[in-house]
Amino acid sequence: MDPNFFTFLFFFFFLFFLLHRPISASNLHKFKQLNSDFLSQSKSSYDSLTPQSPTKYFEVTKPIELPKTKPCSYHVLHHDFGYTYGQPPVFANYTSPPHCSSTKFSKIVLEWKATCEGRQFDRIFGVWLGGVELLRSCTAEPRATGIVWSVEKDITRYHSLLFNHQQQNQTLAVFLGNIVDKTYTGVYHVDITINFYPFHVNTPKTKKFNPLAFTSDSHADLILPISRNLPLNDGLWFNIQNSTDVGLKEFSVPQNAYRAVLEVYVSFHENDEFWYSNPPNEYLSANNITNSPGNGPFREVLVTLDDKVVGSVWPFTVIYTGGVNPLLWRPITGIGSFDLPSYDIEITPFLGEILDGKNHLFGFKVTNALNVWYIDANLHLWLDSNSVRTEGVLVNHIDKPLVESIVSNFSGLNGTFLTSAKKSILSSGWVRSSFGNITTSFVQDFSYCSSMVMRKNGEKQTVNQIISFNDSIRVKLPSSHLDLVDDTNRNFSLYLDSDELDQDNDTYLAVSNVTLGFDVSKSKSEDSEFSKSFLSNVQDSQGKMVVKKNLVISGVGETQQDYRYESNEGCYFRKIGSSNYTILYDKVKNSCNKRSHYPFGLKIFNKFPIIL
């Protein structure tokens, strides 16, 4: 048996069931532990609210736009995930092309459907095809009467992988580390289906056909896995344990590549599950606290290529379904928890360095990391079918060092910590292919700002955090074309307030308020077409739990979510609210506001200069 497993159990049972209420930072973990037990036992005042049919959980997001065609469905896997911790992933054979009458598909959707009943924790899982990660997600926590949920993900961008003609049979791998015993009884019953939607005959071609890889509907010709090789008794992700740990993968690219994008998947667990609420080490050591995670509240994922930093990810603070207070995420789950975001890093400027046919190394590390971060990536490559060799040169690369500052002011367990960080990375380079000599530049700009306040001797913690994460791609095409511009501007925000109020008879009330959300604006210009979009997705949640002698005896959770998507191609709005498992209101609107006060003007782009 895996020794880590015992450490894990020992850690939780000792810390959370024997020790009484350490400081707030670890209360977050305690919340989770207490709740999942209580909620699925359903031997409490909560019983009256428990329905007899399974509860359906869901994540609020914009539905995938599907063509009006009948999909060809390929049921890839059914499995009951019982005791799977420390075992190999579950495998299925995937045969391409799938047996569909059509051969051209405009949309491909992966559907994960699962049911569970009993008592179980939130479990992280991943789905890989040929080592390429298709989905990173978290399970919903069951109830005694059962739950059901599904995740639909647009996987059209993995088209070349799904129709891999070199390798007819590929292995689909699913890792979901679950533990089933007398206490934690929930088995996850899972079906994975891939739906292939043929082109609609009358699909109006809105966009001009452009053979270049940089247009939005162009999918890679080849996708290489930057993940761990099988066999493994784990997911294919790298496990990053600390700030010096590096996950490394050797790879080589075909010598006729002319564009490369690295798609990075990230999730954080155990001591870093709530990294944004970890206090600085000096605070912990001054108070002789050794059993609570520290390293401060700032993290960044760095991606290296042969020891050069090629990009970074300052991740969105996904809260898993058991996080803070599980009642907040039922039935509306936390933003990103059922479909964790992946992050794209433009590698094209560096292509000149790796077109030599030799092996190169991608590396992943996490600044200030505590165990454990699960990271891997997919390298999307566009190949020049008209030539066997492309050539390129990295012209400029500036990796501005991280500027991080922490201002601490504390006395005993009370204190205020202000943390800020800034970084930018710039690269540019040219690649010459049969399409001509194309110069690409990629700039990432980050800023981070956090305020953490500890009051009531650490029993009350308030975190306010904003991450601003901007990417900008500029592509200078051969003469006749206009430059391509692709800008993404993201703000991730988090407000977390958790408090414990002592009551009579060894009882305390845990109160937590969470505001979690992001704003993303994208602007793109390609060959005289301009597009802009703005997405704002915010959840406000309030939860209360009464805990008596480490047993939750009652609880309430409420969530309000506001999802707003506006673009020059269409809009989608949804406002929804829930309280104690009941949906209170749910308003959906598919059309744009007539006199929409767009947070952006539909301005025409100028020709942008290339930053060299």
Q: Residue 540 CB, nearest distance to ligand NAG (Å)?
A: 8
Minimum CB distance to ligand NAG smaller for 202 or for 244: 244
- CA–CA gap between residue 241 and residue 141 (Å, rounded): 26
Q: Are 469 and 422 in contact (CB under 8 A)?
A: no
Q: Is 580 in the site for ligand NAG (CB under 6 A)?
A: yes
Interface residue with ligand NAG among 189, 456, 481, 575 (CB under 6 A) is 456
Q: Is 432 in the site for ligand NAG (CB under 6 A)?
A: yes
Minimum CB distance to ligand NAG smaller for 106 or for 468: 468
What are the E-state strand segments in 118-168?
Answer: 124-129, 132-138, 147-154
Pick out residues in 216-245 that bind ligand NAG (CB under 6 A). 241-242, 244-245
Q: Residue 520 CB, nearest distance to ligand NAG (Å)?
A: 6
Q: Which residue from 513, 511, 470 is spatially nearest to 491, judged by alpha carbons?
A: 470
- CA–CA gap between residue 464 and residue 316 (Å, rounded): 14
Q: Is 409 in the site for ligand NAG (CB under 6 A)?
A: yes
Kindly write out the interface string for residues 138-177 of this chain, putting x where it contacts ligand NAG by CB under 6 A and - elsewhere. ------------------------------xx--------
Q: Residue 606 CB, nearest distance to ligand NAG (Å)?
A: 15
Q: Residue 406 CB, nearest distance to ligand NAG (Å)?
A: 13
Instruction: Using the rule CB under 6 A, give the single segment among 3-11, 185-193, 407-415, 524-532 that binds ligand NAG.
Output: 407-415
- Grouping H, G, I as helix, E, B as strand and the rest as coil, residue 41 is helix
Q: Is 412 in the site for ligand NAG (CB under 6 A)?
A: yes
Dihedral of the CA atoms 546, 550, 551, 555 (nearest 10)? 30
Q: Residue 67 CB, nearest distance to ligand NAG (Å)?
A: 29
DSSP 327: G
Interface residue with ligand NAG among 24, 256, 337, 542 (CB under 6 A) is 542
Instruction: Using the rule CB under 6 A, give the single segment among 188-196, 296-304, 374-382, 431-439 that binds ligand NAG.
Output: 431-439
Residue with tokens 């509306």: 332
Q: Residue 107 CB, nearest distance to ligand NAG (Å)?
A: 25
Phi/psi of residue 269, each to 5°?
-145, 170
Q: Residue 203 CB, nearest distance to ligand NAG (Å)?
A: 31
Q: Are 472 and 443 in contact (CB under 8 A)?
A: yes
Minimum CB distance to ligand NAG smaller for 445 or for 529: 445
Minimum CB distance to ligand NAG smaller for 197 or for 237: 237
Q: Residue 505 CB, nearest distance to ligand NAG (Å)?
A: 4
- Which uninterrupted H or E stretch holds 36? helix 24-41
Q: In sequence order, what DSSP letters do the residues of 379-405 get, joined into one string?
A: EEEEE-TT-S--EEEEEEEEEPPPEEE
Interface residue with ligand NAG among 66, 100, 556, 592 (CB under 6 A) is 556
Q: Residue 53 CB, nearest distance to ligand NAG (Å)?
A: 18
CA angle 607, 611, 612 (to 5 degrees): 135
Interface residue with ligand NAG among 256, 439, 498, 561 (CB under 6 A) is 439
Tokens of 15: 């810390």
- Which uninterrupted H or E stretch holds 247? strand 247-251
Those residues with Cβ within 8 angstroms of residue 536's Cβ, 6 or more apart along the chain or in another chain: 517, 518, 519, 562, 563, 564, 565
Interface residue with ligand NAG among 17, 58, 91, 598 (CB under 6 A) is 91
CA angle 256, 261, 266 (to 5 degrees): 145
Minimum CB distance to ligand NAG smaller for 195 or for 513: 513
Interface residue with ligand NAG among 37, 399, 404, 445 (CB under 6 A) is 445
Q: Is 288 in the site for ligand NAG (CB under 6 A)?
A: yes
Q: Which residue from 344, 305, 354, 300 is spatially nearest to 486, judged by alpha carbons?
A: 344
Q: Are 575 and 585 in contact (CB under 8 A)?
A: yes
Biggest alpha carbon distance in the chain? Answer: 79
**CA distance from start to end of the chain:** 54
Minimum CB distance to ligand NAG smaller for 169 or for 596: 169
With CB under 6 A, what is the number of residues at the site for ligand NAG? 42
Q: Are 538 and 565 in contact (CB under 8 A)?
A: no
Instruction: Using the rule CB under 6 A, give the single segment among 66-74, 261-269, 404-412, 545-553 that binds ligand NAG.
Output: 404-412
Tokens of 414: 């009370």
Instruction: Using the rule CB under 6 A, give the single segment among 66-74, 219-227, 345-353, 579-587 that binds ligand NAG.
Output: 579-587
Q: Residue 556 CB, nearest distance to ligand NAG (Å)?
A: 4
Interface residue with ligand NAG among 97, 144, 579, 598 (CB under 6 A) is 579
Q: Are 376 and 227 in contact (CB under 8 A)?
A: yes
Interface residue with ligand NAG among 7, 45, 95, 568 (CB under 6 A) is 95
- CA–CA gap between residue 21 and residue 461 (Å, rounded): 14
Residue with tokens 């740990």: 245
Q: Residue 461 CB, nearest distance to ligand NAG (Å)?
A: 11
Q: Residue 564 CB, nearest distance to ligand NAG (Å)?
A: 11
Q: Is 270 in the site for ligand NAG (CB under 6 A)?
A: no
Q: Are 485 and 525 in contact (CB under 8 A)?
A: yes
Q: Which residue from 377, 338, 342, 376 is spatially nearest to 112, judged by alpha carbons?
A: 338
Minimum CB distance to ligand NAG smaller for 379 or for 514: 514
- Give the number of other CB atoms < 10 A from CB of residue 70: 10
Chain residue at closest Cβ approach to ligand NAG: 412
Kindly write out the interface string for residues 492-531 of this chain, putting x where it contacts ligand NAG by CB under 6 A and - elsewhere. -----x------xx-------x-----xxx----------
* 580 CA to centre of own chain: 26
Pick out residues in 67-86 that bind ligand NAG (CB under 6 A). none
Minimum CB distance to ligand NAG smaller for 103 or for 457: 457
Q: In the beta sheet, which residues pair with residue 116?
A: 147
- Which uninterrupted H or E stretch holds 283? helix 281-286
- Which uninterrupted H or E stretch holds 194? strand 188-198
Q: Which residues bind ligand NAG (CB under 6 A)?
A: 91-93, 95, 168-169, 241-242, 244-245, 287-288, 409, 411-412, 414, 430, 432, 437, 439, 445-447, 455-457, 468, 470, 489, 491, 497, 504-505, 513, 519-521, 542, 556, 579-580, 582
